[in-house]
Amino acid sequence: QVQLVESGGGLVQAGGSLRLSCAFSGRTFSSYAMGWFRQAPGKEREFVAAINWSGSSTYYADSMKGRFTIFRDNAKNTVYLQMNSLKPEDTAVYYCAARPKVGYQYDYWGQGTQVTVSS
């Protein structure tokens, strides 16, 4: 069974940066594509970024392009989300998720980590 544990969230001022980490365990990490999603209070969960199994391809929601970077270290079984130029509207619970590289949906989710950006 895959387990995902996020860390790195916290309180930051607008314009600041945070790096989220997601530790993967239970299966072979390089057999999974990984994604980051977020959910703000009163809003639906939304896609943030994704990365393929090798790290050679990345995908971003339009509002995150140029500010957020997703990358992974397959030797450490960890995926990261570097968030720069944070805005108050980035405040949300951030979740990482794992999708088998031959699959179409994210089967496994972490518990989430809170990111709060103050103005």
DSSP state of 101: T
Kindly report the average pLDDT of the chain as a whole number: 96
The DSSP line for 11-42 is EEETT--EEEEEEEESS-GGGEEEEEEEE-TT
pLDDT score of 103: 79
Read off the pLDDT band of 53 (50, 70, 90). Answer: very high
The string of pLDDT tens digits covering residues 7-43 is 999 999 999 999 999 999 999 999 999 999 999 999 9
- Using a pLDDT cut of 90, give the percent of the chain over it: 95
Query: Closest Cα to residue 32, out of 8, 52, 58?
Result: 52
Read off the pLDDT band of 102 (50, 70, 90). Answer: confident
pLDDT score of 69: 98
Average pLDDT over residues 75-99: 97
Read off the pLDDT band of 109 (50, 70, 90). Answer: very high
pLDDT score of 104: 83
